Amino acid sequence: MQFTKPAFRVLGMAECFNKKLRKSILAAVSYRRDGIVDGVYLTWLTVGGLDATEKIVELVRNTGRQDINAVMLNGCIISWFNIVDIKTLYRELGIPVVCLSYEESSGLEKFLEKYFPGDEGRLKMYSNLGERRLVYISSSRSYVYARYEGIGEEDLRELLNAVTKHGKVPEPLRIAQSIARAIYLFLEENDPSFLQK
């Protein structure tokens, strides 16, 4: 993959939510390799639901763009255990999909069993994600945990080096997180009923 091309684009996605409310805000940012943001897109997810994969596919398609080279997410388990099926995302979108997390974890099975007792489908979705891989980002001298489809580990490292300027969080995810949080807090303060529908 040509991560060195200035116009190489990553669609970075991150969300903000409160588990006591029904909706979360998912923001997506089109981030060019040369640091230019040339698109911002929004959707909502169901907190504790299982619509993340469908909503992300819908969001990407609704952009109408053909120039997105990879999708990157702040985690595969978002909006209070709304699990993203990255294999389905890759199959539906036809571009590499990368999910990043930043902390060690012994797994989430016990939490799924506690909060969603008897939900075998959700447990299977989580199991199908597979193990996370520890990846070193030399550009910021940091490590992240990654799950990915449609891209090899060497290309993944090259991609992360291209879009990570400092710390662990790549720029498209950092910007998307800031936007999602700002919109969420604005709605929570001014129109909380929207988040409860």
Distances (CA, A) of 75 to 14, 55, 113: 8, 15, 20
Q: Which residues pair with 46 in a beta bridge?
A: 23
Sign of the CA dihedral running 31, 165, 43, 46: positive
Provide the pLDDT confidence category of residue 129 given band limits of 50, 70 and 90. very high
Burial 83-100 (b: 16+ CB within 10 A, else e): bbbbbbbbebbebbbbbb
**Residue 98: CA atoms inside 13 Å, Cβ hemisphere, count?**
30
Map out the domains of the chain as residue ranges: 9-196
Which element (helix H / strand E) includes 11? Answer: strand 9-16
Q: What is the pLDDT of residues 28-37, one digit of tens each?
A: 999 999 999 9
Q: Is the pLDDT of residue 3 over 70?
A: no
Q: Is 29 helix (H, G, I), strand (E, B) or coil?
A: strand
Q: What is the pLDDT of residues 131-186, one digit of tens each?
A: 999 999 998 999 999 999 999 999 999 999 999 998 899 999 999 999 999 999 99
Q: Which residues pair with 188 in a beta bridge?
A: none
Q: Is 170 helix (H, G, I), strand (E, B) or coil?
A: coil
The pTM score is: 0.94
Q: Kindly report the CATH class assigned to 9-196.
A: alpha beta
Indicate the Cα dihedral angle 17, 19, 20, 24, nearest 10°: 30
Distance CA 61, CA 80 (A): 24
The residue among 50, 149, 131 whose CA lies nearest residue 90 is 149
Q: What is the pLDDT of residues 62-102, one digit of tens each?
A: 999 999 999 999 999 999 999 999 999 999 999 999 999 99
